[in-house]
Structure 1
């Protein structure tokens, strides 16, 4: 008579484990989708701002930003780069250097 109790306990544990892991997998998948959507959105914003900056503002020829980025000059003679999230980051003169050959 011990066997049926053991079998039912094992089946209960397996069923409970399966039910407990399904919501966790759904949350993981949702987080992964959110992360991918943010990456795509940031890349799209960055490309859009760089395109608009290339048209409306001047490109600082022969100079680059701290990590080799293109430096733009706006109407107020402010120098800036576009970061990976599509935001304009204004630079100090010490952050701008000549392009490396």
Structure 2
């Protein structure tokens, strides 16, 4: 008799628990997606900041190779050891061979 009286309460508790679990898992998926997007955006901003900083430092510290450009039209710099390089989108200096440097195209 006692079991029959507790059965509706038990079923109600199971339904509430199941719905709470489903809602929590959906919310967790949305949070994971948001975190991933923020992480990707932060990475892009960091790379752009690094690129701008390195280009600024190169323009002050090193000489700009006038009339020449990199393989994809980048500004070419010459360091104190006469090495030619350009700065990529991630802020890394890419050193060039003579064959990779070309005259500027208008």
TM-score w.r.t. structure 2 length? 0.80
2:103 corresponds to which residue? 98
TM-score w.r.t. structure 1 length? 0.84
Answer with 1 or 2: which has the greater Rg: 2
- Secondary structure of residue in 2 paired with 1:63: strand
How far apart are residue 17 of structure 1 and its match? 2.8
Query: Is 2:45 the counterpart of 1:40?
Result: yes
- Please report the RMSD computed on the Cα atoms of aligned residues, expressed in angstroms: 1.9
How far apart are residue 12 of structure 1 and its match? 6.5
Count of matched residue pairs: 96
CA distance in 2, matches of 1:89, 1:17: 50
2:94 to 80, 89, 93: 89
2:22 corresponds to which residue? 17
Question: Would you identify which runs of 4 or more consecutive aligned residues in structure 1 move more than 6 Å?
Answer: 8-12
CA distance in 2, matches of 1:67, 1:13: 57
How far apart are residue 18 of structure 1 and its match? 1.8
- Secondary structure of residue in 2 paired with 1:60: strand
